[in-house]
Amino acid sequence: MNLFLTGTDTDVGKTYVAELLVRALRRTGLDTAPMKPLCCGNRDDALALYAACDGAVPLEVINPVWYKTPASPYAAAKVENRPVNMALLRQNFQQVRHRSVIVEGVGGWMVPITKDYYVADLAAEFELPVAVVVRNRLGAINHALLTVRDIKHRGIPFAGIILNSTESEQDPAALTNCALLEVLLGEPVLFEIKPGQTELEIGIA
C-alpha cells in the first residue's frame, strides 16, 4: 500500500492515522516507510513516524524540511529567511519510493509550500493515491467533499476517506457522517477510526 495522506484541515489527526497505517503495514511484513516531507512548528509528527517504523528509516529522511515557525511552509520560510529546499525534499522521496510508503502532507490540501506550489502539487508530483483524513465532527461533510472534488478535478488518484473520531461523546453529525459520506461519494470509507483506537487491521492480498 502506498498513500499520500492529506487532511481537510490542520489538526485532523493525519499523523495519528499515518502511525496506525505504518505500524499495521509493517505487521503484515511490508517494509513500509513513513515520510513527513515538511514540518512547521515542533517536530513531534516526524518523531512519531520515526517511532512507528521502529527507526528503520532515518529521521532526516522521514523529514527533510523542518521549520520551527508554526505556520504554512511558505510563511515559515519567509519568517526564518530560509527557502524551502525542494531538491532535498524530492531527493528524500526518491530514497523511499521503492518501498511501501505513507507520505503525510502538511496541514490541508491547499496549504502553500511556496508562492506557486501547494500540498496538492506535491501530491501530484509524488504520484501516489491520495487518502483524505477527515475529523469526524460537524462540518466534516462540506470539508471532505470540497477536498475530494479538487483531488479528482486535478486527475489525481483518490484512494478514499479516512474518518477520524476523536470525541468519545459524538453528536448527531459525527454519528451519521460515515454513512452519509459513503452515499455521497458512492464508495466505502477506507477506515473509520474510533476514539482511543490503537491498531488498524489491514489485509494484504
Q: Which whole number is the average pLDDT over 88-111?
A: 95
Please tell me the predicted confidence (pLDDT) of residue 179: 96
Model confidence at 167, in pLDDT bands (50, 70, 90)?
confident
53 φ, ψ (degrees, to nearest 5): -95, 15
Q: What are 129-147's pLDDT values in tens digits? A: 999 999 999 999 999 999 9
Does residue 168 register a pLDDT over 80? no
Higher pLDDT, 113 or 165: 113
DSSP letter, residue 131: E
Please tell me the predicted confidence (pLDDT) of residue 98: 87
Domains of the chain: residue spans and CATH: 3-136+151-193 (3.40.50.300)
CA angle (24, 136, 114) in 5-degree steps: 80
What is the set of active-site residues? 36
Does residue 99 register a pLDDT over 60? yes
Please tell me the predicted confidence (pLDDT) of residue 164: 95
